Amino acid sequence: MNHPEYSKVQSLLAQQGYISDPSIVMSVFLGMQLGKPILIEGPAGVGKTEIAKVMAHALDTDLIRLQCYEGLDATQALYEWNYQRQLLYIKMEEQGNKSLEEKEDTIFGDSFLLKRPLLQAITHHKAPVLLIDEIDRADEEFESFLLEVLSDWQISIPEIGTVKATHIPHVVVTSNRVRELSEALRRRCLYLYVDYPSYEKELAIVKSKVPQIDTQLADQICRFMQELRQMKLEKVPGVAETLDWATALSSLHFDHLEKELVEQTLGVILKDWGDMRHTQTSLSELLEKVNVVSKME
């Protein structure tokens, strides 16, 4: 496995259009170098998942994603036998003259095995990026099971035997902090906290992702979002919402924010009725803050 240099990681991330900061670069770099999973925490919509995607792009490898949810169990993460296909095969072979052993070998072969993300990741032809998304949604039992896989890099399938990893994947684990993760998992990972971006960083992200946007509009959008996040909101909008909004407004060919326009498109950034109402009542004030600052420049 080749380990890219620190500066190379930096430029790779930049090439993929991912605006990062030193702590992100350092974590990604060390994650690759030390072969450790990176545990990324932070509010929704700040680009946690994006880091994994960008890593996969940068390393020119595949991204294998395991989306966690409540009740996710080992079989759904590892492998399942394609039971229906096995049955059909036995049915077809009923008239054949294969011995029992041969039949058994076939139906417990690779083609009847449904690989789920974890098995996929360790049997991949090239070290992939394994994204374990929203681990905090899965149960604690699953977390401990995951620990076992992450430390040994092997999975035992009773009918076949133990499958050892051909390449150790680059692992990215994300969490929204819905539930505290276990100390054991934390200790195995490098910790990275991604917060809402600063105004400068957000502006850079908007400009890189929505290149056709008007400079003044981008500036106003970012200032507005910064102010908006200061308010007491149920669901604080993330970068994803900023980008949606920027794309929407720029494709409507606007070059600056207006009160009416913001009112009409508020649904792009706010996803909660209470938040909408709350924001609408203080919209003039918010816009004033944004405009005043931009006039002063």
Positions touching other proteins (CB under 8 A) are 3, 5-6, 22-23, 26-27, 29-30, 33-34, 36, 41, 73, 75-76, 80, 83-84, 87, 91, 177, 183, 186-187, 189-193, 232
C-alpha 192/C-alpha 81 separation (Å) is: 37
In whole angstroms, the minimum distance from the beta carbon of 264 to other proteins comes to 29
Closest by CA position to 137, among listed 228, 71, 92, 77: 71
Is the CB of 94 or the CB of 297 nearer to other proteins?
94
Is the CB of 76 or the CB of 291 nearer to other proteins?
76
Beta bridge partners of 41: 175, 193
In whole angstroms, the minimum distance from the beta carbon of 10 to other proteins comes to 12
CA angle 271, 275, 278 (to 5 degrees): 150
In whole angstroms, the minimum distance from the beta carbon of 34 to other proteins comes to 6
Closest by CA position to 174, among listed 131, 140, 141: 131
Is the CB of 186 or the CB of 207 nearer to other proteins?
186
In whole angstroms, the minimum distance from the beta carbon of 222 to other proteins comes to 24
Strands (E), the chain: 38-41, 63-67, 79-81, 113-115, 129-133, 154-157, 161-164, 170-175, 190-193
CA angle 119, 120, 122 (to 5 degrees): 65
C-alpha 199/C-alpha 227 separation (Å) is: 10
Residue type, 146: L
Is the CB of 191 or the CB of 285 nearer to other proteins?
191
C-alpha 278/C-alpha 160 separation (Å) is: 59
In whole angstroms, the minimum distance from the beta carbon of 14 to other proteins comes to 17
Is the CB of 27 or the CB of 120 nearer to other proteins?
27
Is the CB of 34 or the CB of 160 nearer to other proteins?
34
Is the CB of 55 or the CB of 246 nearer to other proteins?
55
Is the CB of 209 or the CB of 229 nearer to other proteins?
229
In whole angstroms, the minimum distance from the beta carbon of 41 to other proteins comes to 6
**DSSP states along 12-69:** HHHHTT----HHHHHHHHHHHHHT--EEEE-STTSSHHHHHHHHHHHTT--EEEEE--
C-alpha 8/C-alpha 25 separation (Å) is: 10
C-alpha 179/C-alpha 177 separation (Å) is: 5
In whole angstroms, the minimum distance from the beta carbon of 292 to other proteins comes to 27
In whole angstroms, the minimum distance from the beta carbon of 297 to other proteins comes to 30
